[in-house]
Chain A
Amino acid sequence: MSDREAFGSAVDDELSLPKATVSKMISELLPNDISCAKETRDLVIECCVEFIHLIASEANDVCEEESKKTIAPEHIISALKRLGFDAFTSDVEDVLKDHKAQQKDRDKKVSKLEQSGLTEEELLAKQEELFAASRAKFQNAQQ
């Protein structure tokens, strides 16, 4: 909290979604011959921020009811259902599945490293050796 205060309240008040990104998304949703007033775009951004607060707050309640300390994606899904955004949950669940699958791949790579049988210090030492070798190579090439 104090970190934020150090930067001044101006940063917090301006906390919103990027205009360019939202403008692009809006124009992708509208037909070619329809334009959107700037005022409307800004209002849409405010609505989006409000939506985030709404979902976050409800998800926080769900989280507390489950005696958890960290808001998990599953809490977001429950929140959406509770707030009448059931229609969104199917796509959101797909995104969650994809994300978990990607995470699994990342974890596989990390465990591969761990299975190499070397400790972190040994791995770091090896890395330093490789750096030193290529440094030497580089210097030789320079001469």
Chain B
Amino acid sequence: MKNRNKTTKFPVARIKKIMQKDEEVGKVAQATPVVISKALELFLAYIVNKTHDVTSERGSRKVEAYHLKHAVETNEMLDFLKELVEGVPDPSQGGTIDLEAEAESKRKR
């Protein structure tokens, strides 16, 4: 594994703001965003590693958005992201994408 710079961290204040964007979320203890920061770090590592697995499988040197989409579709832990990646076009699916995208946009209207 590469040398990991252990000082790169997520901004704790920003995490708190993002949490409180949800109107249901009220008060947050001071230690809570710190703990989320760690969970987020682990999550980031997970999603990047799974995505990179797809990149490797497809023999690419560049991590593309559709690699991430495929990782989301094949890992249960990433199920909650399915809606988020819906709009990402996957070139390996050929002509069916357009039909899907059109149906999607019609449904959303």
Interface residues of A (CB under 8 A from B): 12, 15-18, 21-22, 24-26, 28-37, 39-40, 43-44, 46-57, 59-60, 69-73, 75-77, 80, 83-85, 87-88, 91-92, 95-96, 99-100, 103
Q: Which residues of A contact B93 (CB under 8 A)?
A: none
Indicate if the CB atoms of B64 and A37 lie closer than 8 Å: yes
Could you tell me the distance in whole angstroms from the C-beta of A87 to the nearest C-beta in chain B?
Answer: 8
Q: Which residues of A contact B26 (CB under 8 A)?
A: 60, 69-71
- B24 in the interface (beta carbon within 8 A): yes
Give the distance in Å from the alpha carbon of A109 to the alpha carbon of B52 in the complex: 47
Chain B interface, number of residues (Cβ within 8 angstroms): 54
Could you tell me the distance in whole angstroms from the C-beta of A43 to the nearest C-beta in chain B?
Answer: 5
Known: A84-B76, A100-B31. A40 touches B63 (CB 8 A): yes
Give the distance in Å from the alpha carbon of A96 to the alpha carbon of B35 in the complex: 6
Q: Which residues of A contact B49 (CB under 8 A)?
A: 29
Could you tell me the distance in whole angstroms from the C-beta of A60 to the nearest C-beta in chain B?
Answer: 5
Could you tell me the distance in whole angstroms from the C-beta of B31 to the nearest C-beta in chain A?
Answer: 5
Beyond the given A37-B62, A47-B81, A99-B31, please list 8 additional residue pairs across the A-B interface where CB-CB is below 8 A. Answer: A15-B14, A21-B8, A25-B8, A25-B41, A37-B64, A40-B68, A92-B42, A96-B31
Indicate if the CB atoms of A34 and B55 lie closer than 8 Å: yes
What residue in chain A is nearest B77 (Cβ atoms)? Answer: A84
Known: A40-B67, A88-B43. A73 touches B18 (CB 8 A): no
Give the distance in Å from the alpha carbon of A46 to the alpha carbon of B49 in the complex: 17
27 of the cross-chain contacts (CB-CB < 8 Å) are: A15-B18, A18-B14, A25-B8, A26-B44, A28-B8, A29-B45, A29-B48, A32-B2, A33-B61, A34-B52, A40-B64, A44-B51, A46-B84, A51-B43, A53-B19, A55-B39, A56-B25, A60-B24, A71-B29, A73-B29, A76-B35, A77-B35, A85-B77, A88-B38, A92-B38, A95-B34, A99-B35
Give the distance in Å from the alpha carbon of A85 to the alpha carbon of B27 in the complex: 23
What residue in chain A is nearest B11 (Cβ atoms)? Answer: A18
Give the distance in Å from the alpha carbon of A92 to the alpha carbon of B35 in the complex: 6
Q: Which residues of B contact A48 (CB under 8 A)?
A: 40, 43-44
Q: Which residues of B contact A87 (CB under 8 A)?
A: 42
Q: Which residues of B contact A51 (CB under 8 A)?
A: 39-40, 43, 80
Indicate if the CB atoms of A39 and B65 lie closer than 8 Å: yes
